[in-house]
Amino acid sequence: MGRTARAGAGLFIVLAALTASFAHTGAAFAAGIRCEEKVLTDWSDNGRVDGMYPLHCYQDAIEKMPTDLRDYTNATDAIHRALARAVGTDNTNGSTPQAAAGADPELAAGGSSSVPLPLLVLAAISVVVLLAGGVGYLSRRGREEG
């Protein structure tokens, strides 16, 4: 096996490992968004908190809110209203507040914060195309040197 072929095989193995780790890391990164950030993001799109989140998320969002948002916007009031709505909704159906507030299926399943599968497939295809180009370049370079 020539030097170019070994370099191409090594490059292929490295890029395949990177592709696999990218797919795993992308999903973990998307799932790693803290719930207080989800509450603040929900507020930032229209000035209201429309989604249902676990009760501690509302409290964490208020505690960790940047000072400028607290002082110059209605974010604190909107989050307090959403928290009251979540507690009120939970008490009307007879369940415990924490259980019903955390029952939002979109939040539990990752919802819109997860990385779409077509994006992961496109990234994998891009890496394969780059790999093929790199291997072709290395083999042509090896032929020209020899």
3-state DSSP: the chain helix, strand, coil percent, rounded to 5? 80, 0, 20
99's tokens: 């259980």
Cβ neighbours around 40 below 10 Å, total: 21
Report whether pLDDT(25) > 70. no
Residues whose CB is less than 8 angstroms from the CB of residue 31 and which lie 6 or more positions away in sequence, other chains included: 110, 113, 114
For the stretch 7-21, pLDDT in tens is: 666 666 655 665 655
For the stretch 43-58, pLDDT in tens is: 988 888 988 899 999 9
CB 50 within 8 A of CB 42: yes
Report whether pLDDT(146) > 80. no
For the stretch 59-89, pLDDT in tens is: 999 998 889 888 899 999 999 999 999 888 6
CB 101 within 8 A of CB 54: yes
* Average pLDDT over every residue of 120-139: 91
The domain spans of the chain are 1-32+116-146, 34-112
Cβ neighbours around 58 below 10 Å, total: 24
The DSSP 8-state label assigned to residue 94 in this structure reads T
pLDDT of 18 = 57
CA angle 88, 51, 110 (to 5 degrees): 130
pTM value is 0.42
